[in-house]
Amino acid sequence: MFEADTAAEAQIVCNALKDEQLDLLIVADELAGSTGHALGERILAGCPNAKVLHLSTMPSLVLSSGFLQKPFTTGQLMNAVQSLLHPRTQ
């Protein structure tokens, strides 16, 4: 598990992964230095098999299937992650 506080940090972490597989990227629209959607698109360009979960207060801004509207509970977050990583078990 890796964590980044800004878009620039997230990009550095993802670039450092090189050939390792990125399973899940969780991004918030309020990410410093970028929007969560823009960062997700950049990360997916290098890791096309990664799943992206966008956290936002505005669902109309998120175009991907991985979306969780704020505010949310821990259970809702766990369900969203489970649905993205293991869609056949839902």
User: If you compute the radius of gyration of the chain from its CA atoms, what whole number of angstroms results?
Assistant: 13
Residue 2: inside a domain, yes or no?
no
The whole-angstrom separation of Cα 18 and Cα 87 is: 26
What is the chain's pLDDT, residue by residue, as a tens digit (90 residues)? 888 888 888 878 877 876 777 888 888 877 656 677 777 787 777 777 788 888 888 766 555 568 888 899 999 999 999 999 998 765
CA distances in angstroms from 53 to 11, 39, 45, 68, listed in the order given = 16, 12, 16, 7
**Furthest-apart CA atoms within the chain: distance in Å:** 36
Residue 63 lies in domain: 7-89
Sheet containing 67-69: which strands, arranged edge to edge? 24-28, 51-56, 67-69
**Is there a domain that residue 1 lies in?**
no
Domains in the chain: how many in total? 1
CATH number for 66: 3.40.50.2300
- In angstroms, rounded to a whole number, what is the distance separating the alpha carbons of residues 39 and 63? 13
Report yes or no on 50 lying in a domain: yes
**Domain for residue 24, yes or no?**
yes
